[in-house]
Structure 1
Amino acid sequence: MAVKENVNLTKTPSEKGGISKFFREVKAEVKRITWPSKNDTKKALIAVGVVALIYMILVGGLDYIFQNLFELLLKLK
């Protein structure tokens, strides 16, 4: 059987701080971020664009093939 422990859920005065503490911590975290260079960002953007273009061509091609296949099978033409 599990042992029950008393858990104190109240915050100590050091854990309180409100919204101003939250924004100070966010500002500190943003300063620690290592931002990618413009060249890295450009490479990633091109890669995403190429993959999206390939995906659009693939889905469009499959749509065209299935549309013609169903028209042929169901004689909708």
Structure 2
Amino acid sequence: MNRETKRMLQRQGQLDKSGEPAAPVKSVPAQARSKADPARRGGIKKYFNDVKSELKKVKWPSRQDVVSYSSLVFVVLVLVIAFIFGLNLVFSKLVFFLFK
């Protein structure tokens, strides 16, 4: 095992400072965690209430903003398409001219 691997394993807590394997940490099964912490379990109703309260905090754009940004995106899209079409036309003419 090289130095980099040892350092990485030490950062992850799998090796102690001397380079020996650290004592394994026993993980708690998911079912035991959920039973041990009932405050975290709220049910589907609590979930949707939380979602509703978070969505109330969102600053939604106005209709005018949506229309103006959408128009801007559409105009830029048309310009990019026209530019690519022009490049394609020029290069195809150039290739046909060279191999004629």
Larger radius of gyration, structure 1 or 2?
Answer: 2
TM-score (normalizing by structure 1): 0.75
Which deviates more, 21-30 or 47-56?
A: 21-30
> What residue number does 1:55 align with?
80
1:19 lines up with 2:24 in the alignment: no
With the length of structure 2 as denominator, give the TM-score of the two structures. Answer: 0.61
Unaligned runs of 5+ in 2: 1-9, 15-24
Equivalent residue in structure 1 for 2:93, among 57, 68, 77: 68
CA positional deviation for 1:27: 1.3
How high is the sequence identity, in percent, across the aligned residues? Answer: 31
Root mean square deviation of aligned Cα: 2.2
Task: Give the total of aligned pairs.
Answer: 75
